[in-house]
């Protein structure tokens, strides 16, 4: 077990992610329950979900599966994603957080959430507003600790400063993406989290399937409607070139690419836990089979030569992009103001 930042909570190096439980992945609720139970039986005590996964069905499935075992699990969920057409049913306002937490508690069948995370940055909401609402939930006993997800490093620091100056609960964890192919967090986010004593649970350690070896250079991409949101990611030539170099490296080390990728992720001292997101029992068993894998320095050095430390070979399509990049009016002066004096 590893320390979850400075919360005093102990968690397993693998965290069971549940995005694939429900209509977005595995619609068989009984099978989903078996996946949850198998993960717990294997020693995983950390489970992560979100209110938006499968339109909240993931929380319902998880809540049912955890009956009788809730006290043995460190349960994490998230708030912020849109939960309907009403623009106020989402985001990080006090108004929505106080509603969303009650909905999550009901769906999960529990009276407390061990780690309540803000799923994405919300540029329209003052961070003090968000932290104030989350602080009240901690003081009410509904939430044990709070965390962030997908925050740029500047916003991680800002949130810590605001919490300190206003006497509010501070984010105890951050949840960024991290894999052999996306190592950008090594440059600033991981050192910053370490400086503030934050735990780090990373998502997509298998790069949305690219690090399983299923997607190869020159092969036709499988047509899967569930994966439409990672189409650009799966066809990124830089990533495919790296995969072609990683496969023989894994083979020489006597490992599958999946086991190499997972072992790489949890080898970083700044990473607390890596989130695995199996859709089937077979996928879970494959990941569990490599749980004891430890990479030696020679293999890690070889990975560094394939993908330079601190670099992202390309974005994952679902990663957060700030409005300063997506909105042209925030990066272009009006035409009449572009002429130099």
Adjacent-strand bridge partners of 177: 203
CB 314 within 8 A of CB 239: yes
pLDDT at residue number 230: 57
Q: 165 vs 41, 155, 172, 195, 336, CA distance in Å?
A: 43, 15, 16, 17, 41
14 is an active site residue: no
Q: Which pLDDT tens digits describe the chain residue by residue (341 residues)?
A: 999 999 999 999 999 999 999 999 999 999 999 999 999 999 999 999 999 999 999 999 999 999 999 999 999 999 999 999 999 999 999 999 999 999 999 999 999 999 999 999 999 999 999 999 999 999 999 999 999 999 999 999 999 999 999 999 999 999 999 999 999 999 999 999 999 999 999 999 999 899 999 888 877 765 655 555 556 667 788 999 999 999 999 999 999 999 999 999 999 999 999 999 999 999 999 999 999 999 999 999 999 999 999 999 987 766 778 888 888 888 888 887 877 66
pLDDT at residue number 226: 55
Q: How far apart are the first and last CA of the chain?
A: 62
CATH number, domain with residue 144: 3.20.20.100
pLDDT at residue number 337: 80
Residue 243 carries which DSSP code?
A: H
Residues present in the chain in total:
341
Q: Which of 14, 53, 178, 215 is catalytic?
A: 53
Structural domain of 245: 2-337
pLDDT at residue number 217: 81
pLDDT at residue number 3: 97
Instruction: Give the count of domains, the chain.
Output: 1
pTM recorded for the entire structure: 0.93
CB 175 within 8 A of CB 117: yes
Sign, Cα dihedral of 45, 46, 52, 54: negative
Sign, Cα dihedral of 314, 318, 322, 326: positive
Cα–Cα distance for residue pair 150/174, rounded to 1 Å = 7
């Amino acid at each position: 077990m590893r320390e979850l930042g400075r919360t005093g909570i102990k968690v397993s190096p693998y965290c069971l992610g549940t995005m694939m439980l429900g209509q977005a992945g595995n619609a068989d609720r009984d099978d989903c329950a078996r996946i949850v139970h198998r993960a717990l039986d294997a020693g995983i005590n950390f489970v992560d979900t979100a209110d938006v996964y499968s339109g909240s069905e993931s929380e319902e499935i998880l809540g049912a599966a955890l009956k009788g075992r809730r006290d043995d699990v460190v349960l994490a969920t998230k708030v912020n994603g849109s939960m309907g057409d009403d623009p106020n049913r989402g985001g990080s306002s006090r108004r929505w957080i106080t509603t969303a937490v009650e909905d999550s508690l009901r769906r999960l069948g529990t009276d407390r959430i061990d780690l309540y995370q803000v799923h994405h940055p919300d540029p329209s909401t003052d961070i003090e507003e968000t932290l104030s609402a989350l602080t009240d939930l901690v003081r009410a006993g509904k939430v044990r600790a709070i965390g962030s997800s997908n925050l740029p490093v500047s916003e991680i620091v800002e949130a810590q400063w605001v919490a300190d100056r206003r006497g509010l609960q501070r984010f105890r964890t951050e949840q960024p993406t991290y894999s052999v192919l996306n190592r950008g967090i090594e440059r600033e986010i991981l050192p910053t989290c370490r400086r503030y004593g934050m735990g780090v649970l990373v998502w997509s350690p298998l790069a949305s399937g690219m690090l399983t070896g299923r997607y190869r250079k020159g092969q036709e991409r499988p047509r899967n409607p569930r994966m439409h949101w990672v189409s650009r990611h799966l066809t990124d030539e830089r990533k495919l070139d790296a995969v072609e170099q990683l496969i023989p490296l894994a083979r020489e080390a006597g490992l599958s690419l999946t086991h190499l990728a997972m072992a790489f992720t949890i080898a970083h001292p700044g990473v607390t836990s890596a989130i695995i997101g199996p859709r089937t029992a077979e996928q879970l068993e494959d990941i569990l089979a490599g749980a004891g894998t430890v990479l030696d320095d020679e293999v890690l050095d070889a990975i560094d030569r394939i993908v330079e430390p601190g670099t992202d070979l390309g974005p994952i399509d679902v990663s957060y992009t700030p409005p300063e990049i997506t909105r042209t009016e925030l990066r272009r002066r009006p035409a009449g103001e572009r002429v130099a004096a």
